[in-house]
């Protein structure tokens, strides 16, 4: 009971932190699935035409879409208004004032925008498909599942239920695995974005430039930091319980020893 009283405020705070981490990871997974700014602004990688390139004026755009009034626009204006944002599950293409988002399995159903240079065509949405083949959502999905399980364990621990010491140990082990898993996932995500940026620039002769999504990157590392805090909190709870049990054992040993000495005297 003493350990429970000491760690209860910390446990409440840990539950809140773990819940926030779960929400952040979920939004990161659902980035670009919808045109709402809550989702479309959460992207891993965004690319557009590089207007500073010396070859930019030689581009010939080709747009296959039902968007009106785009064919009458000048090439430079049309190209400068095209952005493609990429998430874990979906991608968004922004042409002028119209934005369309879709899952990768349905990416052929949205406007297909390509450029032609010296007889070579560059389809912007093919780049999104290639990125999806490099950066898989499996690690993120596994992390979300483990984070939810850790959250359930923390909620169990706040209640006066049996087997709390075992749940503390299991929660610490699970949070450690979760921390390692998402640490690996975050590093792979960062490396995938950097690799895609270089590949896009080199394969397009520097006609297409990319930038990493700052919001997604912030959410990635904040959720990692929160998972680390959860692991540290559970580790501290186990250490507190270990110290309490050790003190109780030492106290019992001292009592037994003192009783034995008194009996001999």
Residues 58 and 47: their CA atoms lie apart, in Å, by 19
Task: Using a cut of 0.75, tell me whether the model's pTM lies above it.
Answer: yes
pLDDT for res 95 = 78
pLDDT for res 2 = 42
The reply to whether 261 falls in a domain is no
The reply to whether 156 falls in a domain is yes
Let me know: does 42 contact 23? Beta carbons within 8 Å.
no
pLDDT in tens, the chain (265 residues): 444 444 678 889 999 999 999 999 999 999 999 888 888 899 999 988 777 666 666 665 555 544 333 333 444 446 667 888 999 999 988 877 788 888 988 887 766 666 655 556 667 777 888 888 888 899 999 999 999 999 999 999 888 888 888 898 999 999 999 999 999 999 999 999 988 888 887 777 777 888 889 999 999 999 999 999 999 999 988 888 777 766 666 665 566 566 655 666 5
pLDDT for res 265 = 55
Residue 90 host element (H or E)? strand 90-95
Let me know: does 179 contact 231? Beta carbons within 8 Å.
yes
Residue 123 domain boundaries: 2-248
The reply to whether 215 falls in a domain is yes
DSSP assigned state of 226: H
pLDDT for res 261 = 57
The reply to whether 26 falls in a domain is yes
Residues 40 and 86: their CA atoms lie apart, in Å, by 9
CATH label of the domain that carries residue 52:
1.20.140.150
The reply to whether 107 falls in a domain is yes
Q: Is 233 helix (H, G, I), strand (E, B) or coil?
A: helix
Residues 10 and 16: their CA atoms lie apart, in Å, by 10
The reply to whether 255 falls in a domain is no
What is the number of domains present in the chain? 1
The reply to whether 254 falls in a domain is no
The reply to whether 258 falls in a domain is no
pLDDT for res 116 = 59
| Residue the block writes with tokens 């695995």 | 177
pLDDT for res 253 = 58
Residues 263 and 225: their CA atoms lie apart, in Å, by 57
Euclidean distance between the first and the last CA atom of the chain, given in angstroms as a whole number: 37
Residues 139 and 152: their CA atoms lie apart, in Å, by 20
């Amino acid at each position: 009971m003493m350990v429970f009283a000491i760690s209860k405020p910390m446990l409440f705070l840990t539950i809140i932190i773990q819940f926030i981490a779960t929400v952040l990871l979920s939004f990161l997974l659902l980035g670009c699935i919808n045109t709402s700014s809550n989702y479309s602004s959460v992207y891993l990688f965004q690319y557009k035409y590089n207007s500073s390139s010396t070859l930019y004026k030689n581009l010939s755009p080709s747009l296959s879409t039902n968007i009106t009034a785009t064919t009458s626009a000048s090439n430079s204006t049309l190209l400068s208004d095209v952005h493609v944002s990429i998430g874990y599950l979906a991608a968004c293409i922004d042409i002028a004032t119209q934005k369309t988002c879709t899952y990768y399995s349905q990416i052929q159903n949205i406007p297909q925008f390509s450029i032609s240079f010296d007889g070579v065509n560059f389809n912007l949405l093919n780049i999104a498909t290639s990125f999806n083949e490099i950066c898989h959502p499996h690690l993120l999905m596994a992390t979300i599942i483990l984070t939810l399980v850790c959250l359930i364990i923390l909620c169990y621990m706040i209640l006066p239920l049996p087997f709390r010491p075992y749940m503390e140990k299991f929660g610490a082990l699970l949070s450690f695995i979760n921390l390692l898993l998402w640490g690996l996932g975050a590093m792979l995500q960062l490396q995938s974005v950097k690799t895609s940026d270089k590949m896009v620039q080199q394969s397009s002769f520097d006609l297409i430039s990319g930038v990493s999504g700052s919001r997604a990157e912030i959410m990635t590392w904040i959720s990692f930091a929160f998972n680390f805090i959860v692991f540290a909190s559970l580790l501290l709870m186990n250490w507190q319980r270990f110290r309490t049990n050790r003190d109780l054992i030492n106290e019992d040993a001292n009592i037994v020893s003192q009783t034995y000495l008194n009996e001999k005297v």
